[in-house]
Amino acid sequence: MYTQEMLESIKKVEAAREANAAMEPRRMTAEEKDELLKTYHPDYRKDQFGTIEIGPNKGEAAPLELINILEGKSSLLGNKPDLSCPDYETDVLIIGGGGAGCSAAIEADNAGQKVMIVTKLRVGDANTMMAEGGIQAADKPNDSPAQHFLDAFGGGHFAAKKELVYKLVTDAPYCIKWLSELGVEFDKTADGDMVTTHGGGTSRKRMHAAKDYSGAEIMRTLRDEVLNRKIPVVDFTSAIELIKDDKGQCAGAVLKNMETGEILIAKAKTTIIATGGAGRMHYQGFPTSNHYGATADGLVLAYRAGAKLLYQDTLQYHPTGAAFPEQIFGALVTEKVRSLGAKLVNVNGEVFMHPLETRDVAAASIIRECKRGNEVKTPEGQGVWLDTPMIELKNGEGTIEKRIPAMMRMFGKYGIDIRKQPIIVYPTLHYQNGGVDVDSTSETCIPNLFVAGEAAGGVHGRNRLMGNSLLDVIVFGRNAGIYAAKKAANVTVGEMNLDHIDEFEKMKEEAGIKNDNVSPILLPDYTRKA
């Protein structure tokens, strides 16, 4: 599979493997990290960002591609549907059927409220399904929520909202228990102890996993539970606009059948946006590890209705996206590969960094190594080696098949046996660090509008640690479900309207913005144009 040039480089990697595996590379100092990020991290490429010109985040920076859809045009402009006879009436409307949406649905159902999920693909088609490495929780005797707080807050460059990080780490152990009781299988020893590892930037081994199908195992269990509870799921149906009422509250959403185009009205006392991330926006032309539906819909819907965003200018590039072969270009190579002992090695067989720096630092370091001329050349560009055979050198034969079977399968399909040969990796667009600004009850500044999961901002500051997003979707999915249900018990929906669409268009006109691109875009367009 590998080219002759790559095979030549592999010989150097093999020759140095034993020595490389044994060494403990130095960690960078805070100053070294700052300098590295400023010079090489994509978030610092000023030409790739613009200024938001209208709305609550006016004057702030955002990726050009995001501004294009935030300031885009509603498909309902001049074409508003009749809101007077809703097709659906519910207490809690959940937009998105991933990890956060399903967790919210289960808790709102527990609270006795009428719940409904709408999702533009199938329930469970989400980034949660694709999370490989694991979920953090400070449940070992040498660990504590305070230590988890320090890792998450520091890893996010001290920018996160403290009360959200508090919630994240304090609820973490209970959420692992909650998942276990739903039947999620975690990797355990014979006496029940959790098998835990490090992630980049963790100071304790608190990464819980289900092989390298951690997200899939959690997602399929949550989905099964949603179905067992007979919670209505309207699939292949996307929210295309929020509905407000005459009191300025959120009152539901306008929906569109993805296949027939039919427009439907959902009236709700409270609404939860759980639409996930934005990898399919391909910021700065990066490939992505994300799901087909990751197009920042929730940010567009919320912003047009008047909600504020937080840290919309910071994205996570996962350091190890597959860089070869081209069929899996950009696909996620789980951080767990490094947790288990594989190191990053350049074309000359040299280890150039500690493998478990935080993701932003690791990504920038790989980009720097390639710019230094130490890259492995590929048909799509470049990358560095991730020396997977080190894992079995360190942990014994059979470790890879047992602990990271999905990785073995993914490369095996293209004739690469990761037990025998290293793989080529390069950063891939992975996560939206920011999102819609919420309080500790997951509510936005628009009454009765809640946001949870990747679509919300503030939990991770300006960089998220591995294993804190699976945790985020469970903690804040449940949180949003609980508070949205509680609030729904006392809400009376007023006269419904879509006036905010016109108001937004008026703001655009006043600011001189001419942008007729319809948003949210719902799906990326990969169709070849003849």
> Which residues within the stretch 131-150 sit at the binding site for another protein (CB under 8 A)?
137-142, 144-147, 149-150
The region of 73-81, 109-117, 183-191, 455-463 touching another protein under the rule CB under 8 A is: 183-191
Q: Is 186 in the site for another protein (CB under 8 A)?
A: yes
Q: Do the beta carbons of residue 328 and residue 322 sit within 8 Å?
A: yes
Q: What CA–CA distance (Å, rounded) separates 374 from 345?
A: 9
Q: Is 336 in the site for another protein (CB under 8 A)?
A: no
Q: Do the beta carbons of residue 138 and residue 169 sit within 8 Å?
A: yes
Query: Going by C-beta distance under 8 Å and a sequence separation of 6 or more, which residues neighbour residue 224?
Result: none
Q: Which 421-460 residues touch another protein, going by CB under 8 A?
A: none
- Rounded to the nearest angstrom, the gap between the alpha carbon of residue 333 and the centroid of all alpha carbons in its chain is 15
Q: Is the Cβ of residue 12 or residue 140 nearer to another protein in the bound state?
A: 140
Q: What CA–CA distance (Å, rounded) separates 116 from 97?
A: 10
> If you search the block for the tokens 């010079």, which residue do you land on?
39
Task: List b or e across 135-149, with b for residues whose CB sees 16 or more CB atoms inside 10 angstroms.
Answer: bbbbbeeebebebbb
Catalytic-labelled residue, pool 208, 318, 354, 478: 318
The region of 2-10, 63-71, 263-271, 326-334 touching another protein under the rule CB under 8 A is: 326-334
Q: Is 109 in the site for another protein (CB under 8 A)?
A: no
Q: What CA–CA distance (Å, rounded) separates 120 from 252?
A: 16
Binder to another protein among 328, 366, 386, 452 (CB under 8 A)? 328
Q: Which 239-278 residues touch another protein, going by CB under 8 A?
A: 258-259
> If you search the block for the tokens 């199938």, which residue do you land on?
122
Strands 435-437 and 456-457 turn out to be parallel
In whole angstroms, the minimum distance from the beta carbon of 107 to another protein comes to: 15
Query: Going by C-beta distance under 8 Å and a sequence separation of 6 or more, which residues neighbour residue 191?
Result: none
Grouping H, G, I as helix, E, B as strand and the rest as coil, residue 496 is: strand
Q: Is the Cβ of residue 312 or residue 334 nearer to another protein in the bound state?
A: 334
354 catalytically annotated: no
In whole angstroms, the minimum distance from the beta carbon of 389 to another protein comes to: 22
Grouping H, G, I as helix, E, B as strand and the rest as coil, residue 344 is: strand
The region of 38-46, 216-224, 363-371, 391-399 touching another protein under the rule CB under 8 A is: 216-224
Q: Is 419 in the site for another protein (CB under 8 A)?
A: no
- 466: tokens are 């591995």
Binder to another protein among 59, 192, 285, 512 (CB under 8 A)? 192
Phi, psi of 127 (to 5 degrees): -60, -30
Q: Is the Cβ of residue 27 or residue 394 nearer to another protein in the bound state?
A: 27
- Residues 66-105: x/- map of binding to another protein (CB under 8 A)? ----------------------------------------
Task: Look at residues 313, 316, 285, 282 and name the one whose alpha carbon lies nearest to residue 299.
Answer: 313
DSSP lists the bridge partners of residue 98 as none
Binder to another protein among 30, 47, 514, 516 (CB under 8 A)? 30
Catalytic-labelled residue, pool 157, 280, 304, 338: 338
Q: Do the beta carbons of residue 91 and residue 69 sit within 8 Å?
A: no
Query: Going by C-beta distance under 8 Å and a sequence separation of 6 or more, which residues neighbour residue 21?
Result: 341, 343, 387, 390, 393, 394
* Number of residues lying near another protein (CB under 8 A): 86
Q: Is the Cβ of residue 34 or residue 503 nearer to another protein in the bound state?
A: 34
Binder to another protein among 221, 339, 388, 442 (CB under 8 A)? 221
Q: Is the Cβ of residue 296 or residue 410 nearer to another protein in the bound state?
A: 410
The region of 193-201, 262-270, 295-303, 484-492 touching another protein under the rule CB under 8 A is: 193-201
318 catalytically annotated: yes
Binder to another protein among 292, 439, 513, 521 (CB under 8 A)? 292
Grouping H, G, I as helix, E, B as strand and the rest as coil, residue 144 is: coil
The region of 15-23, 226-234, 342-350, 444-452 touching another protein under the rule CB under 8 A is: 226-234
Task: Look at residues 48, 32, 110 and name the one whose alpha carbon lies nearest to residue 479.
Answer: 110
Q: Is the Cβ of residue 398 or residue 494 nearer to another protein in the bound state?
A: 398
Q: Is 166 in the site for another protein (CB under 8 A)?
A: yes
Binder to another protein among 69, 274, 410, 416 (CB under 8 A)? 410
Grouping H, G, I as helix, E, B as strand and the rest as coil, residue 210 is: coil
The catalytic site residues sit at 318, 338
